């Protein structure tokens, strides 16, 4: 009887350990996905800044400030 309980306990502990690993793995995948999204967003934002800066420069900003 005692051996049976010990086996059940070991099995239960292994199952819990596997569940924790699965959860960590899912969080790791989510974090990688968020990092990729943030990198892509930053890249697009930098492109917009470059495009906007090429069209609307410092001189234009100063002129607009003078008008206001």
pLDDT at 35: 94
pLDDT at 51: 81
The answer on pLDDT for 53 being more than 80 is no
Query: For the chain, which residues make up each domain, given as ranges?
Result: 2-67
The answer on pLDDT for 65 being more than 90 is no
pLDDT at 55: 76
* Between 16 and 22, the higher pLDDT residue: 16
> Whole-angstrom Cα distance, residue 65 to residue 45?
24
> Whole-angstrom Cα distance, residue 32 to residue 65?
43
Helices (H), the chain: 2-55, 58-67
Query: Confidence band (pLDDT; 50, 70, 90) for 4?
Result: low
């Amino acid at each position: 009887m005692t051996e049976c309980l010990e086996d059940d306990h070991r099995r239960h502990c292994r199952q819990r350990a596997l569940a924790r690993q699965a959860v960590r793995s899912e969080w790791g995948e989510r974090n990688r996905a968020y990092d990729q999204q943030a990198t892509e967003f930053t890249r697009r934002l930098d492109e917009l800044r470059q495009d906007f800066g090429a069209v609307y420069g410092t001189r234009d900003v100063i002129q607009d400030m003078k008008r206001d």
